[in-house]
Structure 1
Amino acid sequence: MSDTPIYTLGIDIGSTTSKCVILKDGAEIAAQALEVAGIGTSGAQETIGKVLTAAGLSQEQISASVVTGYGRKNFGGDAVSVSELSCHAMGAHWVFPEVRTIIDIGGQDAKVISLNESGMMESFVMNDKCAAGTGRFLDVMANILKLDISELEVKAAAAQSPVSISSTCTVFAESEVISQLSGGAAIPDVVAGICNSVASRVCGLARRVGIREQVCMSGGVALNNGVRGAIARDLGVEIRYDPRAQLFGAIGAALHAYKRYTKNNTANHE
């Protein structure tokens, strides 16, 4: 058997960000890269270039590639396309082997995935086409408040009396936030209300699937402790967190590539 390492590439093209991970022998992250440029841009190719440079590898040294995410069907490369549900399930299970429920909040949608003991997806539910309960909702609200998206977590932590944002539509919620501000509500209290609003919608999805611990989050919104904390309180469970949460889809894609390559390579040598 060859001692040459097997490098596989996972590409996750989201609506707002492109993520890439290179795995070595399906067991170790050799490099990772993220670009705030998603579907409809050159972000994916730029991210691939960055991750190859970070790993010190050429494209020819990649044994297999898998692309996933919102923009996978628009990817012009030769990578195999795999659904983001499958990739997020595999990536989360790789990081948290005991996880049974994944809450994934991306830029355009939110989904909750239930896994069995082997890490295989058993069921899932996704939100409707409304932006409420997604990263896009948080982007819109941050823009209204003239805050950077990264500031929301800090502001929410300083809340004394979170306001209620009850509208299920982003447009109406925007009006509700403006009304709260006009009425003198403190920005931290409004931000906490926004985080609670996102959590409430996602927890509704989670209850439809059924919550089984361990529970983890994936996707960019997982980085926001204001939302994570609100979900944990609403569901009454601990939410497992890893700083690589935004890369779970790309990790899963690289794992899929590794499994496909080793399976085909084994079959060819039998």
Structure 2
Amino acid sequence: MFVAGCDVGSLSAKAVIMKDENIIASHVIFARPEPAESARTVMEGALNKACLTMEDISYCVGTGYGRNSISFAQAAESEIACHGKGAQWLKPQVRMVIDIGGQDAKAIRIDETGRVLRYAYNDRCASGTGRFLEVMAGSMGIELNDMGEVSSQAKNPVSLSNQCVVFAETEIISLINAGRDLSDIVGGLHKALSHRVASLARSIELESEITMTGGVAKNQGMFKSLQEALGVKLVCMDTDPQIIGAVGAALMARQAAAENG
């Protein structure tokens, strides 16, 4: 039996196909203008990798901010529940998940089954999101995917006084014009974002086993900075952290398919 999870976010879309206990295909794309188009395109990519068609999928669960636009999904679940389920399935010892998405950041406490116990999220200000890093990368003329490597060279990370994206962008341009090293600026950005996210996590009490999910988790500079801000060693995912929400959705699809016979 094949099942699928489709996670449509504001910056990217992810799809995962599972058979039994195995992930047999996954696909990630940049988000299209319309969530429905993102869903179709990313699922086609995953199906092609698995040499399957949509008719082969017994059940599909959608998640992410565009979950209600996924026409081929039989059900929709919150990304909070899906990240919790996916993270615990991949790393059973995990009891807290920090997900930095394109439009929000979430801290999620879970039990030994991946069930959500408590959560907190910030969706009112872009300064705690992946969108913040994307805008700042554009201001500095570097690729978003290169920020981790650039920050690894930082010797004296800058201290940013502005949390607001608009004012922070102006501040960064001023720092560049003043001749500050790009690595120190990126290091300062990671530090500022990490402290904001760490405060969010502390608002629901930290756990000892914490992991980071979402595309930002692939940024090693941000990963290291968040560890320092939290004061704990994060559990590193062996699977692409960007697809964890889709994995959780696929697990929920598997459960629903079994219950429905």
Q: Is the 8 A contact 2:132 2:165 kept in 1?
A: yes
Among candidates 179, 187, 190, match of residue 182 of structure 2: 187
Query: Does residue 29 of structure 2 align to residue 35 of structure 1?
Result: yes
Bigger Rg over Cα: 1
Q: Post-superposition shift, 1:135?
A: 0.6
Using the alignment, how far apart are the partners of 1:109 and 1:128 within structure 2?
4
Tell me what 1:174 maps to: 169
- SS of the residue aligned with 1:86? helix
Using the alignment, how far apart are the partners of 1:96 and 1:63 within structure 2?
26
Q: Describe the superposition over 1:174-214 as per-residue Cα deviations: whole angstroms up to 9, x where unpaired.
A: 11111222222111000100111110110010110111021
Query: Does residue 62 of structure 2 align to residue 53 of structure 1?
Result: no
Using the alignment, how far apart are the partners of 1:52 and 1:241 within structure 2?
27
Runs ≥4 in structure 1, deviation > 4 angstroms?
none
Among candidates 227, 238, 252, match of residue 248 of structure 2: 252
Among candidates 125, 134, 148, match of residue 139 of structure 1: 134
Sequence identity, in percent?
Answer: 39
Q: Is the 8 A contact 1:22 1:254 kept in 2?
A: yes
Q: Post-superposition shift, 1:16?
A: 1.2
Tell me what 1:77 maps to: 72
Among candidates 104, 107, 118, match of residue 109 of structure 1: 104
Q: CA RMSD in A?
A: 1.2
- SS of the residue aligned with 1:211? coil
Unaligned 5+ segments in structure 2 are none
Among candidates 83, 88, 93, match of residue 93 of structure 1: 88
* Distance 1:86-1:22 versus aligned 2 partners, 3 A rule: same
Q: Post-superposition shift, 1:147?
A: 0.2
The amino acid of 1:35's aligned partner reads I
Task: Please say which of residues 147-156 and 72-81 is displaced more in the overlay.
Answer: 72-81
User: How many residues get paired?
Assistant: 259
Q: Post-superposition shift, 1:38?
A: 4.6
Q: Post-superposition shift, 1:37?
A: 1.7
Q: Post-superposition shift, 1:73?
A: 1.7
Using the alignment, how far apart are the partners of 1:78 and 1:65 within structure 2?
5
Query: Does residue 258 of structure 2 align to residue 262 of structure 1?
Result: yes
The amino acid of 2:257's aligned partner reads Y
Task: Please say which of residues 91-100 and 38-47 is displaced more in the overlay.
Answer: 38-47
**TM-score normalised by L of structure 2:** 0.96
**TM-score normalised by L of structure 1:** 0.93
Using the alignment, how far apart are the partners of 1:38 and 1:9 within structure 2?
20
- SS of the residue aligned with 2:40? helix
Q: Is the 8 A contact 1:7 1:63 kept in 2?
A: yes
The amino acid of 2:224's aligned partner reads G
